[in-house]
Structure 1
Amino acid sequence: MAGRINDDDVKAVRDAVPIDAVVSEYLQLRSAGGGNLKGLCPFHDEKSPSFQVSPSKGLYYCFGCQEGGDTLDFVMKLDHLSFSEAVERLAAQAGITLRYEEGGYNPGRQQGEKIRLVEAHRAAARYYTEQLDGPEAEIGRKFLAERGFDQAAAEHFGVGYSPAGWDHLVRFLRGKGFTDKELILSGLAQDGRRGPIDRFRGRLMWPIRDITGEVIGFGARKLREDDNGPKYLNTPETPLYRKSQVLYGIDLAKKDIAKGSRAVVVEGYTDVMACHLAGVTTAIATCGTSFGGEHIKILRRLLMDNSGAEVVFTFDGDAAGQKAALRAFEDDQKFAAETSIAITPGGMDPCELRLAEGDEAVRSLIDSRTPLFAFALRSIVSGYHLASEEGQVAALNAGVPVVARIKDRSLRDRYATRLGGMVGLTSPAEEEAVRRRVHALARSYERGAPEPALSGAASGPGRGPQGGRGRQAEAQRPAAPRGPRLDLRSPAHRVERELLKLALQRPDLVAPVFDAYGADEFTAAPYATVREAIAEAGGTTAADAGFLTRAREAAPDDTVRSLITELAVEPLLTRKEPDDFYAGTQLAAVRLAAVDRRIGQIQGSMRRCEAGGDMSAYASLQEELWVLEQYRQDLRNRGAAAL
C-alpha cells in the first residue's frame, strides 16, 4: 500500500509551483488590482469574472460559487485527482523527488492512478514519434507529405506512427513497468484472446493533449486499404480522456487565443496543422464529436467573455457543413464574444485549401468570415417558398425568434430590417412591424421565457424552429453558494469582515493588538470561528509563510475553510494601499462595537437588579458601566491609540 507523502515535500511542492502559473494553464487571468488576478471561474458558468487568484497568498477563490483553496486544491478539483495524485503531478512539473513515509520510495508502486496513466501516454507518444522514422512508416510520411506537412511540422505537432503488429506498444510499455491493467485502463491497449493487444495498429498517430500540454489520448488515421476500421479512430472514454471536454491543439493555441481574443474552430487534425502553419495559430478542433457546451467552457475561460473577442467556425460549404454551422449557432448566446463562420470554397477544408492555394488563402478564408447570425438567418429563410405569401409568413415566423436572441439591441434592429427584406417585406410599415415583433419577443426572453432551439432550416411551409432552452438554462445556472449567509449590509459585519481580511492578508498591520481580541468580539458566528482558527494558527504576531495554510487547516469544517480562503483573497475596501491608520480604524471600530454591546448588556442587567432589589449587584454593575463608558469615549476620541 502506498505510503504517505512526506509533509516537508508537500510544502516544497506548494512553494515551488506558483498558483497563478498553474491556473493560467487553464484560463486567462487579468489584473484585479491589489496584486490579485481574475478570470472566468472554471467551476461554474458565469458572464463576468468573479474568480480571483492571490499569487502572494497562494490561494484562489470564486465569489460566485465559493470554490476556493490553494494550488493543490485547484488541481484536485479541476482534474479530479486525489491529494497524492495532485502532489505527484505538481512535483513532476517542478522536478521535486517525493519521499514516502511507511514503506520507502517506489514511484512505480506509489503513484496515483491518473498520474500513471499520464506517464503511460507520455511514453506512448515518444514511442510513436520514434516509429515515424522507420521503414514501415513510409506510408505515413507519404500521407503527410501529400498534404503539405514536412518533418518539422510532424515534430511540432508530435505526429507519430503505430506499428502494424499486434502488441508492439504493449511490450514496450510493459518494459517501462506499466501493468496490463494500466494499459487497458488507459485506452492504449484492448483485451485480446491471449492478453492485451495494441488498440492502434498501422496508423498515423496524433497525440491529443489537454490544456496543460499533457498527452491524454490519441487520434489515429487509417493508412491502408486492408484496415477494416474507421477512417479515424480515437482513444475511448477513459479516466483521462473525455471527448466532449477535449479540444485538439488547445495547448498550442491557448496563449494566442488569450492574447488575440480570437479562436478558430476547424474540423480535423490536419486542418489544425494547416492553419497553424499558415499563421492562424489560434486554430483548434474537436475530437470525434460536435462542438458543444464543455468546449465552450474551455474557450470562455481563455477569451474572458471579452465583448471584443471572436470565435470563428470553419465548415465545408456542403449540406453537412451547413448543418454543423447551424448546430454551432445553437450555442452562440453562450459566448459574449462575436461568433462568425468561414465557409471554405469548393467544399475544400483548410488543409486542402492550403495545399491548393497556399498559406495566404487560409488566412484570407478566416478574414472573409461572416457573422453567424447572418449565416443562420439566410439558412433558415432559404428553406421556405418565398414566392407565396404563406411561405413569407412562415419564414418570418421562423426568423423572428432568431433575431430576438441577439444581445446587442442596435444590431438586433438591423437584423430585423434585414429579415424583412429577405422574406420580401420592404415597405417602411412592414419593416417597423417586424421590428416590433422582434422587440416584443426579445423582452419576453429577458423576462425568462424559454428561447427556441434551432434544429436547422425548415422543411416546409409553416415549419420553424421549435423546442425550448428553459431546462438547459436552468441546468447552467450557477450553484447556490455553500458558504454561510451573512447580512453584509450590517455595518458591524462589514467591519468585522474587513478586520479578518486584514488579519489574513496583512497580519503585520494588526499584530499584536488583534491577537488580544476574543472570538466574542465578532458578532457573526462564522467570523468568530475564523477568529478562533487564526488563534490556533499562532495568531497574527506569529504569522509567517505558512500562516494561511495553518489557519485553513485549523478550520473545523469545509465551510469555514472556504470562508477563510475567501477572506484571504477578497480585495480590501480601501482603494489605497492599506496602512497602519487604516488597520487601526478597523481595529477600533470592532472594539467600539463590542464595548457598545457590553454596555447595553450591563444596562439591561442593572434594570433587572433594580427591579429585584439587588442593590449590591447593581452597584458592581454601575462601576463596570462607568469604566466602559470612559473607555468608549476614549475610543471615539482617539481611535486605535486608545486600544
Structure 2
Amino acid sequence: MAGRIRAEDVATVRERSPIAEVIGEYLELRNAGGDSLKGLCPFHDESTPSFHVTPSRGLYYCFGCEAGGDVLAFVREMDQLSFSEAVEALAQRAGIQLRYEEGGYVPRNEQSQRQRLLEAHRVAAEFYAEQLLTSRAHEARQFLKDRGFTRADAEHFGVGYAPPGWEVLTSHLRQKGFTDAEIMLGGLASQGRRGPYDKFRNRLVWPVREITGEVVGFGARRLDPEDTGPKYLNTQETPIFKKSSLLYGLDLARREISRRAQVIVVEGYTDVMACHLAGEKTAVATCGTAFSSGHVQLLRRLVGGPSSGSSVIFTFDGDAAGHKAAVRAFEEARGEFTHTYAAIQPDGLDPCDLRLERNDAGLQALIDAKRPLSEVVMENQVARFDVNTIEGQLAAIDAAAPALATVQDPDAWEKTVQWLARQVKETNLDLVKRRVRVGASAQPGHRQDEETQQRPAPATRARTYDLRDPTVRRERQALKLAIQFPHLARSFDELDPTAFTVREHQAMHELIRGRGGVAAVEYPQRWGLDLYDAAPNEVQAAFLTELASEPIEVDGELSEQAATEILRRIRLDVVSRQIAEIRAQLERQDQQGDPEEYNRVFVELMTLQERKRMIQEGTHGAM
C-alpha cells in the first residue's frame, strides 16, 4: 500500500479547498455578520442555526453540539471517511495529484476504496452516456423523445444507455484497471455462476449523484416489454450508495432549493427532468424508496427547519397508493419544515406526462394548486368514517387531530378547524376544537413530539469553569483575540501562564506560546489552522475552534485600542490577585511579629500597587 500522504500536499489540498465552498455544497450558509457564515448544523437536529463557518480562519464550529474543525474534519465527519480518504476526496475535487511518503504518485490500485468506487462510477456514467449515441440505443433515444426530451436534455441530466449483453460494462471497467471485486462491490455487476455480469442491461440509465456531484449509483428503466425484470431497477445498497440519504437531482437543484427555501419531491427520474425543464428547478426524487427521515435531514440542511419559512411540496397521484404515500410523507416531514404541501393530479398524470400533454404551464399549474399536506391527510382520515352518525363524526375528528396539531400558525389553525368541522358535518365549532385538543395529545400520531422529548441532548464538552465568572470571561476574550486577530494582540506574548486561572485557558496559552506566540504570526489567515494542527488532542482542538468562531465582545468595531483594553484588563486581574496574596501575607507577618520580613513584604506590596496604577493609566505594559 502507498505510504502517508505528504504533508505539503495535505496543506495544498486544504488551501485549495475553501471551507465555505466545500461546506456550502452540503448545506445552506447565510451571512452571520462580520467574517462569519451560519447554517443549520448537519451533525445534530436544530431549528435555529448555530453552526458557524469562519472562512478567513478556515474553521467551523457549532455552538449547539460543539462540533468543530477544519475543512478536512468536516468532510471526514459528513462522509464518514478516514483522514486519507478525506484528503483524497478534496484533492480530486481540486484537481490535485497527491504524492505519498514512499515517493511518486499513488498507483490507481492503491487508492482508498471509496475513491476507487467513485472513480468506477464516473467511468461507468461516461460509458453509458456514450452508448446513448450508438445505433443500438435507438429505443432508448425514442423513449426520451416520446416524453419530450431532447439530446441536450439527456446530456444535461447525464442520461445514458446500458447496452444488452452480460459483460459489456464489466469488460470496459476491467480495461480501465478495475477489479471484479470493485465492480461488484459498487453494485455495477452481480455475481453469476460464470463470474460477474452487468447489473443493468438494455435499459435507459440515470446517474444518481451525491449533493457534491459525484456519481454513486444508477437508476435504470426497462426498455424491452418482454423483459420480466422490474420496470425500474436501482443500484442496491453499497458502501457509497445509501438510498435513505440520496435524492436524485439534488446536485442540480441544490442552489435553487437554498435560494428559494423550497423543494418539490416527485416520484421518478423523468418527473425531475420535466419539472426542471418547466422552470420548477427545485424538484428531486427518491431513488426507488419511500421518503424517509434521512431525506428529511438532508433537505433541512438546505431549506432550514420549521422556523425558517421553508416549504416542501410533494406530488402524488390521486389514487389510493398516492394517498398512502401522502400519509407516509406527512409522518416523516411533519414538524420539520415551516410548510408541507401536496400537489395532487386527479387524473393520475405524473409530472412528466402532464408536461407532455399540457406543456410547461400545465405542470406549473399543478404546483400552484398545492394544498397543505395536513389537510390532505385529514381528508383521507375523515373519509374512513361515516360522518352521518355521531359516532362517525367524533371518530373522524379524533383521527384528524394529530395532523391538525402540526399547524403552527394560530390563524391557519382556526381556519383548518373550521374546514374540518365542515368535512365532518359538525356545526358546533367549540366541540370540534375541544375534541381536537384532546385527540392531538392522546393519539399515537403525535409521534414527533414524543420523539423530540425523548431525543437526548447534544453531547457537550465538560467545563471546569463557570462562564458567569467575569475573570473567566475576560481570559476567554484575551484568548479569542490572540487566535482571531493576532496582529492586534501584540502584548499577549507578555502574559505568562499565571495570567490564566483555569486549566483550559492555561493549556491554550501554552499552545499559542508553543507556536512562537502572536509575534511569530506571519500569515494571520493561517494562524487558526496552524494552532488547530498543533493541538495535542481532540478536546483542545475543539476548544480552539470554539474560541476561533465565537465573537469577541466589544462595543462597536474591534480596534487596536479595544484589543489593548482587553489585554490590559488581564494584566490588572493578575496584579490584583498578587496584591491580594501579599496583603494576606502581611496579615500573617504582623501576627508573627517579624518586622524585617514585614517590611520586605510591605515594599513588595507598594511595588505591586504602583504597577497596578501604571497599568490603569496605560503607562506600563509589562507584567
Q: TM-score, normalising length from structure 2?
A: 0.95
Q: CA deviation at 1:54?
A: 0.7
**Partners of 1:4 and 1:332 in 2: how far apart?**
44
Partner of 2:293: 293
For 1:123 and 1:508, how far apart are their aligned partners in 2? 49
Deviations 1:533-589 (A, max 9, x none): 111122111113342223123323211110101111122223533111111111011
| Residue 288 to residue 80, structure 1, CA distance change in 2 (3 Å) | same
Conservation of the 8 A alpha-carbon contact between 2:464 and 2:502: no
Give the match for residue 548 of structure 1.
Answer: 528
Q: How does 1:584-599 map to 2 (within 5 A)?
A: 584-599=564-579
**Which amino acid in structure 1 is aligned with residue 124 of structure 2?**
A
Q: Which of 475, 480, 487 is matched with 2:466 structurally?
A: 487
Do 1:210 and 1:246's aligned partners in 2 also have CA atoms closer than 8 Å? yes
1:257 equivalent in structure 2: 257
SS in 2 for 1:339: strand
Aligned residue in 2 for 1:560: 540
| 1:370-385 to 2 correspondences below 5 Å | 370-385=371-386
CA distance in 2, matches of 1:641, 1:525: 25
Question: Could you say what secondary structure the match of 2:74 adopts?
Answer: helix
**Are the equivalent residues in 1 in contact too, given 2:474–2:566 (CA < 8 A)?**
yes
Q: 1:256 corresponds to which letter in structure 2?
A: E
Deviation at 1:276, TM superposition (A): 0.8
Deviation at 1:419, TM superposition (A): 2.2
Aligned to 1:217: 217
1:533 and 1:552 in contact (8 A); partners too: no
Aligned residue in 1 for 2:239: 239
Unpaired runs of at least 5, structure 1:
446-450, 455-466
Give secondary structure in 1 for the equivalent of 2:466: coil
Counterpart in the other structure of 1:514: 492
Cα distance in 1 for residues equivalent to 2:503 and 2:621: 28
Partner of 1:108: 108
Alpha-carbon offset, residue 603 of structure 1: 2.5
Cα offset, 1:264, TM superposition? 0.5
Q: CA RMSD in A?
A: 2.1
Taking only the aligned residue pairs, the percentage that are identical comes to 48
CA distance in 2, matches of 1:122, 1:561: 36
What is the identity, as a one-letter code, of the residue corresponding to 2:478? L
SS at match of 1:206: strand
Deviation at 1:272, TM superposition (A): 0.5
**Shift in alpha-carbon separation, 1:197–1:531, aligned structure 2, 3 A:** same
What SS class does the counterpart of residue 8 from structure 1 fall into? helix
What residue in structure 2 maps to residue 504 of structure 1?
483
8 Å contact from structure 1 (residues 44, 478) kept in 2: no
Q: Distance in 2 between matches of 1:560 and 1:194?
A: 55
The 1:255–1:468 alpha-carbon spacing in structure 2 relative to 1, beyond 3 Å, is closer
Structure 2 counterpart of 1:632? 612
Query: In the TM superposition, what are the counterparts of 1:426-445 in structure 2 within 5 Å?
Result: 426=427, 430-438=428-436
The answer to whether the Cα contact below 8 Å between 1:34 and 1:571 also exists between their aligned partners in 2 is no
Q: 1:416 to 1:360 in 2, by over 3 A?
A: same
Instruction: Report the counterpart of residue 366 of structure 2 in structure 1.
Output: 365
Q: Quick check: 1:526 aligned with 2:527? A: no
Structure-1 residue corresponding to 2:387: 386
In the other structure, the counterpart of 1:315 is 316
Change (3 A) 1:393 1:128: same
Using the alignment, how far apart are the partners of 1:549 and 1:157 within structure 2? 38
Shift, 1:248, TM fit:
0.4
In the TM superposition, 1:263-274 aligns within 5 A as: 263-274=263-274
What is the one-letter code of the residue matched to 2:125?
A: A
- Range that drifts further, 358-367 or 473-482: 473-482
Residue of structure 2 in register with 1:463 after alignment: none
- Whichever residue aligns with residue 304 of structure 1, its letter is G
Q: Secondary structure at the match of 1:501?
A: helix
Does the CA-based 8 Å contact 2:249-2:285 persist in structure 1?
Answer: yes
Aligned equivalent of 1:400 = 401
| Cα distance in 1, alignment partners of residues 196 and 403 from structure 2 | 52
- Tell me the secondary structure at the aligned position of residue 60 of structure 1: strand
Whether the 8 Å CA contact 2:342–2:371 is kept in 1: the answer is yes
The 1:621/1:42 distance shift into structure 2, 3 A limit, reads same
CA gap 1:639/1:236 in 2 versus in 1, 3 angstroms? farther
The letter of the residue matching 2:52 is Q
Q: Distance in 2 between matches of 1:157 and 1:281?
A: 12
Give 1:620 deviation, angstroms. Answer: 3.1
Give me the whole-angstrom Cα distance separating, in 1, the residues matched to 2:237 and 2:531. Answer: 40
Secondary structure in structure 1 of the residue aligned to 2:334: helix
Conserved 8 A contact 1:400-1:416: no
Among 580, 594, 609, the residue aligned to 1:600: 580
CA–CA distance in 2 between the matches of 1:34 and 1:157?
Answer: 38
Quickly say closer, same or farther: Cα 1:610–1:184, change in 2 above 3 A. Answer: farther
Instruction: Tell me how far apart the structure 1 counterparts of residues 584 and 219 of structure 2 sit (CA, whole Å).
Output: 77
| Partner-residue secondary structure (3-state), 1:377 | helix
> Which residue of structure 2 aligns with residue 135 of structure 1?
135
Question: Does the 8 A contact of 1:88 with 1:115 survive in 2?
Answer: yes
Alpha carbons of structure 1 residues 179 and 413: separation in structure 2 relative to 1, 3 Å:
same
Question: Partner letter of residue 69 of structure 1?
Answer: G
Structure 2 spans left out of the alignment, 5+ residues: none
Q: Is the 8 A contact 1:219 1:234 kept in 2?
A: yes
Distance of aligned partners of 1:496 and 1:36 in 2 relative to their CA distance in 1, 3 Å threshold:
same
Tell whether 2:556 aligns with 1:576.
yes
Cα distance in 2, alignment partners of residues 300 and 617 from structure 1: 70
Q: TM-score, normalised by structure 1?
A: 0.92
What residue is the counterpart of 1:459 in the other structure?
Answer: none
Structure 1 CA distance, aligned partners of 2:104 and 2:622?
A: 57
Provide closer, same or farther for how the CA distance between residues 334 and 616 of structure 1 changes in structure 2, counting only shifts above 3 A.
farther
Cα distance, 1:412–1:617 mapped onto 2, change above 3 Å? farther
Residue of structure 1 in register with 2:174 after alignment: 174
Paired residues of 1:40 and 1:304 also in contact (CA < 8 A):
yes
AA aligned opposite 1:178? F
